[in-house]
Structures are given as C-alpha cells and as structure tokens.
Amino acid sequence: MPYILIQVTREGVSLEQKQQLIQGATDLVVQVLNKDPQTTFVVIDEVDTDNWGVAGQSVTQLRLAQQLNTPPQK
C-alpha cells in the first residue's frame, strides 16, 4: 500500500537511474515494513531548476554560482 514520492530537480536523471530509484524505494518498504511490492507505488517528480528554491534562491542560480566559483579544470 505505500505511496512513495521522490521529488528531484530536472537535471538529467537517466532511465536507468529512474529504474534504480523505483527498485530501491520498493525494496526499502518491502524489507523494512514487509509491504507487498505489487501494491507499492513509486512516483518520481522532476522539477525545473527555476522552480526549486533553496536558501531563497532558485537551483538555477545556485548552480550558476557554483560554476563561477569552480576553478577551471586543467
């Protein structure tokens, strides 16, 4: 019966990673709570970085700031 929502920023989560999230989250409630995987929902919600804020800034802005502060790779 569990419903698991995994909300992350839309930053290139691959099909394989989505499958790992679905399998991993299902396994978690099966192992910890002995739930039936057949009636365990996992929903992955990808949110644009413009639409997700942390510390009062959008993730788009945070990522930009991170890039500016990263010394160029040799």
User: Which residues are tagged catalytic?
Assistant: 2
Torsion of CA 10, 11, 14, 18, to 10 degrees: -50
Please say whether the beta carbons of 6 and 42 come within 8 A. Answer: yes
Minimal distance, residue 29 CB to its own copies, in Å: 7
AA identity, residue 22:
I
Q: How far is the CB of 28 from its own copies (least distance, A)?
A: 4
Shortest CB 74 distance to its own copies, Å: 23
Q: How many CA atoms lie within 13 A of 10 on its CB side?
A: 7
Which residues are at the interface with its own copies (CB under 8 A)?
A: 1-9, 13, 15, 17-29, 31-33, 35, 37-47, 50-59, 61
